[in-house]
């Protein structure tokens, strides 16, 4: 048997085995908190500028995954992938225009699974992406015991609500507002926190466990946030991205031209050249200021939710998960959005609080999650309870939350799983809560992907519809480097042509942590491509990329 075949069989075997889980309290509640477009700019992830005391306090009693990655850096595909534990090539959702149960397969979701086990499941705010991709119902009644809640004030989110320098109202990107002047005197995330607290109170004395998912809208654009949060980040203390220029060796197909920002009135008025810009430096600083302010505004709502959990006596019986659907570029590589495979848009915060596992009740009666006002002048310092450095993925969440709740973990999906209603393409990470991390980092791999309509930036490059997709960028993130291939893609068969390589990217983190120097063309890849082409078409593309990684690593070691 050849060495390459032995490696292939080993990888297939590893893909079919789920790690043994260590459950938490059987039947415990789940509070699932999701931010939108939040990269790990949090104190618990080492950001010294941000003020995020409530999330940091949660992390101090939790297990924090430092290297968690989304499967596609755009809302609907990422959320559908995470909630079904299937990758975008299985959900066949790369845009916003299809419902997986009709378009791909009748896959069970995480809240649906908990509902089937006797949980009362509830959705507040943005969990599934609303619209066609969740059947205009947020997947009710499959996933939820009651219809999902959406805040009324969200209807105004993209309207002319932002007062400009001319004192008129505009649909701007930068949109710090006086909340009392907004419709209803409120904002969507304030309403989300209000409703979530109400639901917690309604379930506090119920005999049935609950699964409450709360999706906050911020820091997603537009930055329609209470104006007082800007005072936390004086513009003179803001700095530009460390790498604000488009990398010289970046393949044009890899660039995201941030067309959604260009449509905002204040950005449109700048007449920034397409596709590479750049945005004037003073506006760059303003965008970064508003993003950070939006994070602190969202942190306050999380604090309200956690303190209510505490006050109701539910903190000792409720697993809390905090995450984001993907990140957001703040000027790195000359980009201002998501829509790519770089770490700044694929890496996300992922925090698990498991009572009795990551934290134990305090006999002194001290609150578990006292509310912390972000405007408090006191300095708050928290240390993460436990940090996990290995690469993990959002598809890992479904099996992990199930295991920690004491439920049977869905079986691994084998091969092409379009007919399997309940299986997982992720790993059960529950064993990491009981065991010290040992040498797992080098072997762990995270996959992301992004579609493009052409080899060069177009007006629809950020969000091509399915029929417009011509190229798919498959990206593999390991401990040492990120490796991406842009492959020809057939949107009718949902297949990538592994021999039709349009471009490649390779970034070595030891010398290039910002992923600014693409050395793909510095290495010989023809042998790798030939090996990939010879593999059976029944092998998943993720497995092929794993093989590429092994071949490439072997080549690097022999140089």
Closest CA to 55 of 45, 65, 66: 45
Q: What is the spatial distance between Cα 163 and Cα 167, in angstroms, rounded to a whole number?
A: 6
The residue written with tokens 């916003």 in the block is 96
The residue written with tokens 């979530």 in the block is 196
512 three-class SS: coil
Q: What is the spatial distance between Cα 108 and Cα 547, in angstroms, rounded to a whole number?
A: 30
Closest CA to 100 of 88, 91, 110, 113: 91
446 three-class SS: strand
Q: Long-range contacts of range 273-278, CB-CB < 8 Å, 24 or more positions apart? A: 274/457, 274/459, 275/457, 275/461, 276/246, 276/334, 276/457, 277/334, 278/244, 278/245, 278/334
The residue written with tokens 């379009």 in the block is 418
Query: Considering 129, 220, 290, 333, which one is annotated as catalytic?
Result: 129
CB within 8 Å of 369: residues ≥ 6 apart = 54, 57, 58, 61, 303, 306, 307, 309, 310, 315
82 alpha carbon, distance to own chain's centre: 9
Query: Considering 44, 75, 175, 413, which one is annotated as catalytic?
Result: 75
Question: Is 431 a residue of the active site?
Answer: no
Closest CA to 330 of 49, 94, 80: 49
What strands lie across the sheet with 495-508, from one edge to the other?
446-452, 471-477, 481-490, 495-508
Q: Which stretches within 187-280 are classed as H helix?
A: 188-203, 259-262, 265-268
Closest CA to 325 of 470, 188, 443, 218: 218
Q: What is the spatial distance between Cα 203 and Cα 100, in angstroms, rounded to a whole number?
A: 31
- Return left, alpha or beta for 444; rule: phi > 0 is left, psi -120 to 50 is alpha, else beta: beta
Question: Is 44 a residue of the active site?
Answer: no
Residue 14 contacts residue 444 (beta carbons within 8 Å) = no
Radius of gyration of the chain (CA): 23
Characterize 349-384 residue by residue with b for buried, 16 or more Cβ atoms within 10 angstroms of its Cβ, and e for exposed: bbbbbbbebbbeeeeeeeebbebbebeeeeeeebeb
Residue 16 contacts residue 411 (beta carbons within 8 Å) = no
**CB atoms inside a 10 Å sphere around CB 46:** 11
Residue 513 tokens read as 């942590």
The residue written with tokens 């649906």 in the block is 112
Q: For 355, phi and psi rounded to 5 degrees?
A: -60, 135
Catalogue the active-site residues: 75, 129
């Amino acid at each position: 048997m050849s060495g390459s075949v032995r490696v292939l069989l080993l990888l297939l075997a590893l893909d079919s085995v789920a790690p043994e889980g260590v459950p938490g309290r059987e039947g415990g509640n789940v509070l699932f908190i999701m931010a939108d477009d939040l990269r790990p700019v949090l104190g618990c992830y080492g950001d010294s500028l941000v003020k995020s005391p409530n999330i940091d306090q949660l992390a101090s009693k939790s297990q924090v995954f430092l290297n968690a990655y989304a499967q596609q850096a755009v809302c609907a595909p990422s959320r559908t992938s995470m909630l079904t534990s299937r990758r975008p090539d299985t959900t066949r959702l790369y845009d916003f225009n299809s419902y997986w149960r009709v378009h791909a397969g009748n896959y069970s979701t995480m809240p649906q699974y908990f509902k089937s086990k006797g949980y009362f499941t509830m959705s507040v705010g943005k969990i599934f992406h609303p619209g066609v991709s969740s059947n205009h119902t947020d997947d009710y009644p499959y996933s939820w015991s009651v219809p999902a809640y959406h805040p009324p004030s969200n209807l105004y989110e993209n309207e002319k609500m932002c007062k400009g320098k001319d004192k008129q109202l505009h649909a701007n990107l930068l949109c710090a507002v006086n909340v009392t002047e907004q419709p209803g005197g409120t904002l969507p995330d304030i309403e989300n926190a209000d409703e979530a607290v109400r639901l917690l109170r309604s379930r506090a004395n119920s005999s049935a466990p609950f699964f409450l998912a709360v999706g906050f809208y911020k820091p997603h654009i537009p930055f329609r946030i209470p104006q007082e949060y800007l005072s936390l980040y004086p513009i003179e203390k803001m700095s530009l991205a460390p790498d604000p220029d488009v990398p010289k060796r970046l393949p044009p197909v890899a660039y995201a031209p941030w067309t959604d920002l260009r449509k905002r009135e204040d950005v449109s008025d700048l007449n920034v050249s397409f596709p590479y810009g750049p945005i004037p430096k003073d506006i760059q600083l303003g965008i970064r200021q508003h993003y950070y302010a939006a994070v602190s505004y969202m942190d306050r709502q999380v604090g309200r939710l956690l303190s209510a959990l505490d006050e109701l006596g539910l903190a000792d019986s409720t697993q809390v998960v905090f995450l984001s659907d993907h990140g957001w570029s703040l000027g790195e590589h000359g980009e201002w959005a998501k829509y790519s495979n770089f770490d700044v848009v694929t890496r996300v915060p992922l925090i698990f609080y498991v009572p009795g596992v990551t934290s134990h009740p305090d006999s002194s009666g001290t609150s578990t999650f006292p509310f912390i006002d972000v405007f408090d002048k006191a300095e708050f310092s928290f240390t993460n309870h436990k940090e996990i450095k290995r690469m993990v993925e959002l598809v890992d969440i479904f099996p992990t939350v199930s295991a920690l709740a004491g439920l049977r973990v869905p079986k691994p999906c084998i091969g092409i799983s379009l007919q399997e209603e309940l299986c997982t393409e992720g790993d059960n990470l529950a064993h990491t809560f009981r065991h010290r991390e040992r040498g797992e980092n080098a072997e762990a791999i995270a996959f992301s992907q992004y579609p493009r309509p052409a080899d060069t930036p177009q007006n629809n490059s950020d969000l091509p519809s399915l029929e417009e997709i011509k190229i798919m960028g498959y990206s593999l993130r390991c401990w040492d480097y990120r490796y991406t291939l842009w492959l020809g893609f057939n949107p009718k068969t949902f297949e990538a042509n592994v021999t039709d390589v349009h471009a490649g990217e390779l970034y070595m983190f030891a010398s290039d942590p910002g992923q600014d120097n693409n050395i793909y063309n510095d290495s010989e890849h023809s042998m790798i491509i030939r090996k990939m082409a010879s593999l059976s078409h029944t092998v998943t593309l993720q497995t092929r990329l794993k093989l590429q990684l092994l071949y490439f690593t072997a080549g690097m070691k022999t140089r």
